[in-house]
Amino acid sequence: MTDVQGTAAVAPEVAARTAAMRAELERKSRREARLNWLAPIVMFGLIIALWYFISYVRMDAVRRRTALPPPHEIFTDGFFVWHERKGIRPILESLLVTGRVALIGLLISVVLGIAVAIAMNTAKWAEKSIFPYAVVLQVTPILALVPLLRNWFGFGISSRVVVCVLIAIFPVITNTLFGLQSAQARHHDLFSLHNVGPVTRLFKLELPGAMPAIFTGLRIAAGGCVIGAVVGDFFFRQGAIGVGRLLDNYQKDTRIPELITATICACIFGIVIFAFVGWLSNRMLRSWHDSVAGPT
């Protein structure tokens, strides 16, 4: 009887303590949510304030006009002007050209990089034969290859796509290979116990387990393709005008507001591609991978 009374007396106290802990967790969650929204806004405000400080305090009128105009001039002379030769319209048109090159280069890099990584994963001799040349592509300055690429592929879209592939393929290869080789030995033993062939092993064990690493390489390659498209357009100065060539023209004509506007648009484009790959990764991995699904 005494034990029953003691348990009945403790139950309300436990319930009250549980309710207090739940309320504290909810308050903490709301604080974190507000901070997640407020911190980027504060950081953006600090950057704009620093920009104004440098433009108006550290520069005189002449240098401010030719080096770093204040943010409101960038928006009024760049983003808010819609003209065939001035403002945002030619920047968006050139961004379509650069975006097409970057997306084609990214697609080729992903398909070719995954295929090469699978080939390297099949046998140690294949990895030792192919991997050194992948490293050579990664460490060779792309500017050193520009004259060769110009002679081999001409001045058009093909040369720019090749530049994108050369920059973006290495992270796809290395991350995919790492993911394929990360399958646990006991899982391989289980497949061997059931006499599973290499193709089934690849598609049922190695590739699914490598998906997080593949998407990591894909995010890196996405940014690299944007860089490659801009750099390629900057040096291969024939064909459709992309962002790189437009930046060079603005720099030569000292059109600083439009130069900064084009740079911002190129950055936004790269962020959009990076965010899309991250979204795709979350959609494909969130149902089973801890890095996306979070604690249960």
The answer, yes or no, to whether residue 107 has pLDDT greater than 90, is yes
- The whole-number average pLDDT for the span 85-112 is 88
pLDDT digits (tens, 9 = 90+) for 21-30: 777 778 777 7
Q: What is the pLDDT of residue 38?
A: 86
The answer, yes or no, to whether residue 296 has pLDDT greater than 50, is no
- The whole-number average pLDDT for the span 110-118 is 93
CA-wise closest residue to 268 among 79, 112, 3, 118: 79
* Residue recorded with tokens 């084609």: 104
Instruction: Sketch the domain layout of the chain as residue ranges.
Output: 2-58, 82-293
Give me the helix-helix angle, 157-180 and 124-139, nearest 10°: 140
- The whole-number average pLDDT for the span 145-172 is 84
Q: Tally the C-alpha atoms within 13 A of residue 239's C-alpha that lie toward its C-beta.
A: 20
The answer, yes or no, to whether residue 279 has pLDDT greater than 60, is yes
Q: What is the pLDDT of residue 109?
A: 93
Instruction: Please state which CATH number belongs to domain 82-293.
Output: 1.10.3720.10
Rounded to an integer, what distance in angstroms lies between the CA atom of residue 24 and that of residue 20? 6
Please state whether the predicted TM-score (pTM) of the whole model is above 0.95. Answer: no
